[in-house]
Amino acid sequence: MLITLDDLRHFAVAHSLFTPTTLTRALHRLGYVQADPIRAPARAQDLMLRHRVKDYRDGDLERHYAKLGVEEDVFVNYGFVTRSIQALMHPRSDSCVPAEGYRPWPRLVPAVGTFAAVMAAGAILAFAAMQWFGVRLSARVLQAASAIATLALIGLVVGCFQVRTPASTEPAPPAPAGSFVVAMVLAIQSIVVTYDGWYEPIYFAEETRHPTRQLPRAMFGGLALLAGIYLLLNVAFLRALGPAGLAASKFAAADAARLIFGRASEIVISVVAVVI
């Protein structure tokens, strides 16, 4: 049967615009609601829910968040997803999903858990102070952090090529039949935020010297550099872990780092996570 544009419009309207109901029912019917902190003219979650929830008021989602059975996560964009959707996004039950969070600081300094709120406030104040002293200082800090992160990732690639190749050459287990499309969707969902933001230099075009030359260099040069680094990482993990090991790994970077740094690998990965 041929699917027309009118069919798609009817499907979208019928499944997304429904009779206003309770906040919990609306969230579970939608499955995902994009979140946006910018009020221009209003936040995305409030705009989406005000037509679908009875007597919805600005900020109701955040006020009742703990009782709604939803979690913060990144689907296409950052937002709120139901736990059933999140389970599909992170099919490995023992993986750390954003709702649980990966917290590197307690791994680096075990006693930091007691002072987590103080450290978070201190970090916010430090970034605010950098902005107070001007964009030039904050730009230099960002450039330094980006350079350190790049060197750390390249160092991980080099280290992977220095370890001994696994003796077992067992091939990776075949994917279940009919899972290619699902695998592609999950893969794209995992990397979309990695490349998101490549266009953001245009927001500062009026402050850029020689924008016709600098903007394409920043956008497309940065995109090419990022793609190159991530492709090298995939080749390096395949080299260090082997096909079967990579397929069985739940966190390839950590497993590869363990082969390179031994017991210190957890500290190394935590430091890189903090910088990135």
50-72: pLDDT as tens digits: 989 999 998 999 999 999 989 99
Q: Report pLDDT for 53.
A: 95
Say which residue, 179 or 158, is predicted with more confidence: 158
Would you say residue 185 has pLDDT above 80? no
Q: Report pLDDT for 81.
A: 92
The model's pTM is 0.58
Q: Are 241 and 249 in contact (CB under 8 A)?
A: yes
Q: Report pLDDT for 265.
A: 74
86-136: pLDDT as tens digits: 888 876 555 444 444 445 555 555 555 566 678 778 888 888 888 788 778
Every domain of the chain and the residues it spans = 5-89, 134-275
Average pLDDT over residues 19-34: 92
